[in-house]
Amino acid sequence: MGELSSAAAVACAGAVIWLMSGWHSGVRRAELLLAGGGAVGTGPPAWREAVGRLRRIRGRLRVEWWAPAAGLVLAVLGASVLPLVAGAAGVPLLRRLRLAAEARRARERRADAVIALCAGLAGEVRAGRQPGEALLCATRDSGGLGSAQAAVLAAARFGGDVPGALAGAARQPGAEGLLGLAACWRVAVDQGAGLAAGLDRLESALRAERDQRADLRAQLAGARSTAVLLAALPAFGLALGTALGADPLRVLLHTGAGWACLVAGGLLEAVGVWWVARIVRGAEAV
């Protein structure tokens, strides 16, 4: 029960820090709103400064560093260095997952920005602007070209190769729709076709493709949630065994049978997670 009390104390301390940081953020926003965005008071109290420091520290901590922290807690509770080693080994994997998630979000934001660029450019052309001037205004408003935005702006401003610049920007993940914009630009400017009509059709196609991906992702959310729940069941089992006084950590970390169960369970857990992730990736790629 002493180990259970220590674990509960650690969990409660983490929850208090997390809730205090979120509450402080809400209070600060409310004060700025009521003050009209100006200065509020002469300065926050000492406890608010401490909470602010904790929030800054939490912001610097990436999700992968919670693995060695959890491993340290389990190492202390189980009197074994194995959980700490396992937590340290999980840092590269969690970092890879975090970077993949960030890349996916950046790709989705870039795709949304390309759709906004097509809509804005069509509106500027209908308003009577020349294609180069319209592209300048729409590109600055959307900001969806990323690192290639300067090249596109320079080509539009000085009469350069706009389709080539758009094709170069389309190499970024999520910006593939710029290839269609480059084709519309080439046909409209070189052959005198209607640019706005082509942009409308391109925007509709890109929006339909985005909605289809969002619908597929929503349908796969249940499978992901089930996989996460099944992967977390061993941790709940350990917590339940500790609460009942069975001391599962001592059995797993200090006995031969426990070692065998730990290795077999870890392998089965890894294979199961890999299998579910492969199925989900295969469904998304269809």
Please answer whether residues 88 and 67 qualify as being in contact, where contact means their C-beta atoms are separated by less than 8 angstroms.
yes
pLDDT at 199: 87
What residue type is assigned to position 199 of the chain? L
Please tell me the distance from the alpha carbon of residue 169 to that of residue 174, in angstroms, as a whole number. 10
Q: Quick one: how far is CA 182 from the chain centroid?
A: 29
pLDDT at 24: 43
Block means of pLDDT (10 residues each) for the chain, length 286 residues?
A: 47 46 44 46 58 63 80 84 85 86 89 89 86 83 70 82 86 88 82 76 91 87 83 86 85 87 88 84 74
pLDDT at 40: 43
Indicate if the alpha-carbon torsion angle 189, 190, 192, 195 is positive or negative.
negative
Indicate if the alpha-carbon torsion angle 86, 92, 274, 229 is positive or negative.
positive
Q: Please identify which residue in the block is written with the tokens 């960030």.
A: 102
3-state secondary structure 174-186: CCCCHHHHHHHHH
pLDDT at 207: 92
pLDDT at 137: 85
pLDDT at 144: 59
pLDDT at 198: 86
Full-model pTM: 0.68
Please tell me the distance from the alpha carbon of residue 78 to that of residue 67, in angstroms, as a whole number. 16
